[in-house]
Structures are given as C-alpha cells and as structure tokens.
A and B are shown apart, each in its own frame.
Chain A
Amino acid sequence: MHAEVELSLNFDIKGRNFSKAGTISTKIKEILQELGIPMSIIRRTAIAAYEAEMNVVMYADKAQLTLCLTPAGISIIINDEGPGIEDIKQAMEEGFSTATDEIREMGFGAGMGLPNIKKNSDKMKISSIPGKGTSLDIFFNLSKVSEQ
C-alpha cells in the first residue's frame, strides 16, 4: 500500500535553535507512521533525519529539508547555509568532531552524526562548499524491510 503514496514536503530548520532541535524529525516519523511505512524503515529514516537535523542546528545558519516519498523509497534532502565542511572524509570518521561545549551539553557532538546517517540510510551523498554550506541527500529503499 505504501508504494502507491507520493508525497513531497519542505521544512525549514533554524541553526542554533536548540529548544526546537529534533522536532522536524519527530514530525517525519509521525508522517511515515500515518502512511503505514514499515517500522524498521521508519526507525532508520528517523535516526538519520534526527542526526542530520541536529547537524544543521549545531553547525549551520539555516537549512531546508525536503522529504520525498516515491514508489521506490524515501528521500531526505537537506541544503544548508553555513560554514560547510572542509574535509568530508575526515567528518565521516567516527569520533571526529568540531563540537562546542554547548553542543556536547545537548548530548551531541560525539562525532557519530554522519557515520550514523550513513549506517542507517541505503544511499548517502554529501557535498560541501566551505564558507557556503553543505548538501546532504539520503535515500531509504522501501523494498528493504529487514531489521537493522
């Protein structure tokens, strides 16, 4: 039934807005639940969306998140405006972090964000222009329903 649904929604994320951090990911989880998407995929999508949303809140000025649901799967695209990432390869390493104390007090900044996004998604593309911003494109295959 979920394969027939098509949907495209945009959300704005504000950088440094720690009190609202994560609300969009919770909303995405609720939307996917209402659409009857399998729980194992919702869980992976919600974890990746949450990490990506927190990255924007922690490091960027603002971003637009686009959630698209097609017969093939779920895609989440985030384009942010901010400092960007100097070395993406280094940022993908578990434990690498440039987090401030404020970020760590929120329970984030362990250098697990991008690795967690990669681990939970079926496809991940990231590009960045230092000084301008970062684009993240993640995809979840709806035919993959195995538990992770």
Chain B
Amino acid sequence: MTLKEIKEILQAEIICGENLLDIEIEFAGGADLMSDALSFGEPGLILLTGLTNSQSVRTADIIGAKAIVYVRGKKPNIDVIEFAQSKKIPLLSTKLMMYTACGRLFSHNLPGVHEHKGKKSNAC
C-alpha cells in the first residue's frame, strides 16, 4: 500500500514529505510510548502515534520507520517538522482516534508488525 493510499484511508493531512507519497508501506504499528515502538518496531513500518514531540521522529529514525501518522488531529511544532524533513520521514495528521485509524488500515489489509513478521517467516 502506498503512503498516498494511507492518506486517503485515514483522511489525513500531509504535514511534510509530499514528494514521498509514492513510497510503499508494508505494515504498521501504533504506540504513544516510544519505548514500546523501539521494542516492536521493524524497518519499513509506518508509526501511528499521539506523541508529537521530537522523540517521535527520533524513534522513527532509529527503528527505520518510513513515515509517521499523528492521530487525534495532533500536529508537531516546526522544529519537529524540520527534523523530520532532515531525516526524510513524511509526517501525516489524521483526526481519527488511534483505535479507529489502526482499525481502518488493518481492515484495508495493512498488517501489523507481528502479522507482517509471521507472513515473512511462513514464506521462508
């Protein structure tokens, strides 16, 4: 699924990274606690979170996430946006709650981290 499709499913607004809407996203994960994201995160995921400070972008960069969606209509400040731009991490914002946003993506066949990992190991 492309980031553009995710944007449409979540009726999300692009905060930065409009030129990266064609990237392919294979799986997603949601967390407000960055230690949880650091624990389950895998390279390539899209991170859904309600945390808008710089640690959300830093965590995404450290785990190799491809993009961040902020839920509940939240938006980061300009410093965080510039940090994301420097790391080439697109930022989106949706008015949906975390549960609804994750549910919509899952129902459109975007798996979670564990389902994605399970699929990969079954293929081996």
Contacts and interface: CB of A to CB of B under 8 A. Distances in A.
Given A51-B35, A112-B38, A107 B62 contact: no
Contact of B38 (A50, A106, A111): A50
A108 B62 contact: no
Interface in B20-65: 32-36, 38-39, 43, 49, 51, 53-56, 58-59, 61-64
A107 to B, nearest CB: 4
- The winner among A25, A105, A106 for most chain B CB atoms within 10 A is A106
B43 to A, nearest CB: 7
Contacts of A104: 33
B114 to A, nearest CB: 14
B47 to A, nearest CB: 11
A46 B59 CA distance: 10
A113 B55 CA distance: 14
Given A22-B54, A107-B53, A46 B62 contact: yes
Contacts of B36: 110, 112
A107 B64 contact: no
A26 B84 CA distance: 13
A20 B33 CA distance: 18
A86 B105 CA distance: 44
B63 to A, nearest CB: 7
Contacts of B53: 105-107
Contact of A116 (B38, B51, B54, B64): B38
Interface of A: 19, 21-22, 25-26, 29, 39, 43, 46-47, 50-51, 104-113, 115-116, 119
Interface of B: 32-36, 38-39, 43, 49, 51, 53-56, 58-59, 61-64
Given A25-B58, A26-B62, A119-B39, 9 more contacts: A22-B54, A22-B55, A25-B62, A26-B58, A29-B62, A47-B63, A104-B33, A109-B33, A110-B33
